[in-house]
Amino acid sequence: MWREQQRAEQKQIGFVPTMGALHQGHLSLVEQACKENDLVVVSIFVNPKQFNQNADLQAYPRTLSADLALLSHLSNLVIFAPDESEMYPADLPFTPMPLGPIGQLLEGAHRPGHFEGVVHVVHHLFALVQPHKAYFGQKDFQQLAIIRLLNAHYGFGIDIIGCQTVRHKDGLAMSSRNLRLTAEQRQNALSISRALYFVQHNIGKNPLEKVKQEAISIIEQAGLEIEYLEIVDPITLEKCAEWQQAQVCCVAAFCGEVRLIDNMLCESVL
Ligand code: AMP
């Protein structure tokens, strides 16, 4: 009904799906969407289907009134904050898509069912909102690749816009999960971005495997438990054996109970 009215008025619709606990990283997506569209839909929904551990789902921060306050200066915004029964009505059909090789790597290997859950919710959201453009952060690099596959697979024809990762001044990538870190853990978590910058600055200077091991020890020495640190091809996400023109270093590590991910595009200057 709402969507039909917008279509009749030929409004250009932008869409930013989120799980809330909004920060400047989310805001950068919303602000870009506001610049490029007549109307922007921001969804706020902590999607149970994409959590492979119930404790993580329970602990995920929920800050709806602060989220609304953060967005309050923006106009032409529609906030969609459904509950689970609205998001997944029993009569709404969904046929899962094959995730392909990209879905099996990195996050796919360590969080069984995660991308299936992401695809399910984004499929429903795209079908409901029918945006012209949808905005996703490169912070979730592999997710962005999966969303592009989803868009092609279901034939949505949406313009998928990848947006740069927003970092705190000290380098830590902004994340809703940072809210769960103690001051000491937050300090230790800085080792992740330090390791990524280390890789970025050392492309081609030493063999890839040596640089990778040094990056791993930067994080481990800060007391984090690494789930993976891989240097991968930006398109296939397959591990690189040697330096190439462009690669992405992707990390997942536990800082106490909190699982953080980050990545950085590392391009050769040669
Ligand atoms: P989330 O609420 O974590 O599901 O994130 C919603 C969207 O915001 C996703 O497209 C994320 O990739 C993006 N996002 C999260 N953190 C950042 C960040 N630090 N910089 C840019 N985009 C981000």
Give pLDDT, residue 158.
98
| Residue 197 token pair | 């910058």
Q: Which residue has the tokens 């313009």?
A: 159
Q: Which residue has the tokens 């990209």?
A: 102
**Rounded CA separation 246/12 (Å):** 34
- Contact (CB, 8 A) for 250 and 193: no
Is 26 considered catalytic here?
yes
CA atoms in the 13 A half-sphere facing the CB of 25: 27
CA 46 / ligand 1 centre spacing (Å): 13
Q: Which residue has the tokens 């868009």?
A: 151
CA 99 / ligand 1 centre spacing (Å): 21
CA atoms in the 13 A half-sphere facing the CB of 136: 20
Q: Among residues 264, 252, 262, 255, which one has the least CA distance to residue 52?
A: 252
Catalytic residue among 26, 114, 123, 124: 26
DSSP conformational letter for 179: G
Is the CB of 243 inside a 6 Å radius of any atom of ligand 1?
no
CA 101 / ligand 1 centre spacing (Å): 23
Is the CB of 114 inside a 6 Å radius of any atom of ligand 1?
no
Give pLDDT, residue 92.
87
Pairing of strands 258-267, 246-255: antiparallel
Among 24, 27, 29, residue to substitute to test ligand 1 (most atoms within 8 Å of Cβ): 29
Question: How confident is the prediction along the chain (270 residues), in pLDDT tens digits per residue?
Answer: 677 777 778 899 999 999 999 999 999 999 999 999 999 999 999 999 999 999 999 999 999 999 999 999 999 999 999 999 999 999 888 999 999 999 999 999 999 999 999 999 999 999 999 999 999 999 999 999 999 999 999 999 999 999 999 999 999 999 999 999 999 999 999 999 999 999 999 999 999 999 999 999 999 999 999 999 999 999 999 999 999 999 999 999 999 999 999 999 999 875
Give pLDDT, residue 270.
59
Is the CB of 137 inside a 6 Å radius of any atom of ligand 1?
yes
Is the CB of 25 inside a 6 Å radius of any atom of ligand 1?
yes
Pick the residue whose CA is nearest to atom 12 on ligand 1: 137
Is the CB of 163 inside a 6 Å radius of any atom of ligand 1?
yes
Is the CB of 166 inside a 6 Å radius of any atom of ligand 1?
yes
Give pLDDT, residue 214.
98
Atom of ligand 1 nearest to the CA of 173: 19
pLDDT in tens, 201-256: 999 999 999 999 999 999 999 999 999 999 999 999 999 999 999 999 999 999 99
